[in-house]
Amino acid sequence: MSKKIALITGANKGIGFETAKQLGQKGITVIVTARNAANGNAAVTDLQKEGVDAEFLQLDVTNAADIQHTFDYINNKYGKLDILVNNAGIQVEDGDWGTNTAATVTAEALHKTFETNFFSVVLLTNKLLPLLKKSDAGRIVNLSSILGSQALHSNPNSPIYASKLFAYDASKTALNAYTIHLAAALAGTSVKVNSAHPGWVKTDLGSDAAPMEVVDGAKTSVALALLDADGPSGKYIHAGQELPW
């Protein structure tokens, strides 16, 4: 099959939906995943109205059975996967983005955040790796955040220094570590993996205070999903620029 196949987690709204739309407009078949079937099917209907070749697959990224079903579905229908965008993510801590929760974070918040933002990404990606390796140009995009940067968090002059929701930030730091390690493991293959910082975007997570529109927030993910053979792997990117780990 020559047509590219992309799977995007948490794609029923926000940056995930817009990423699906932009990839679909480039002729890529998009598998939209979400926990809620009604929301996912509604998103696919909207994408199809835009001329996108989209389909829905129910996936709770924290559910092992769903992850196995996702592999079986793609393997049986397409036999390969060209693009995986690990977009699904949560933020559960109390307080606004200027709050420091390092001394108050609960075990529940840590476990819940890491389960979705880190553990599920590793388990889903590793499960789908055999399918990505069958692609001529497998691309993995891990939706991180500038808030995962240790270099910037430790610099009092950085723009994110005051924003320290510990569970969320640490989950993105861990995700960045996975990107680095996985890129090294895949060196010499056709698969590239990178972390993407979409920017501060007007989404449910980013709030209306964010300066960026969703259409622009998806552009980094789309660019990394479509990297050519000379493109980077194991990098931390926003709008074409490399961020410090």
Q: Which residues are catalytic?
A: 168
Task: In whole angstroms, give the CA distance from residue 93 to residue 165.
Answer: 7
Distance CA 127, CA 108 (A): 26
Say how far apart CA 35 and CA 13 lie, in whole Å. Answer: 12
172, containing H or E segment: helix 166-185
Residue 6, phi-psi category: left (phi > 0), alpha (psi -120 to 50), beta (remainder): beta
Q: Which two tokens stand for residue 62?
A: 């924290």
Looking only at the bridges linking them, the beta strands covering 236-238 and 241-242 are antiparallel
C-beta of residue 192 within 8 angstroms of C-beta of residue 183: yes
CA distance 127 to 185: 15
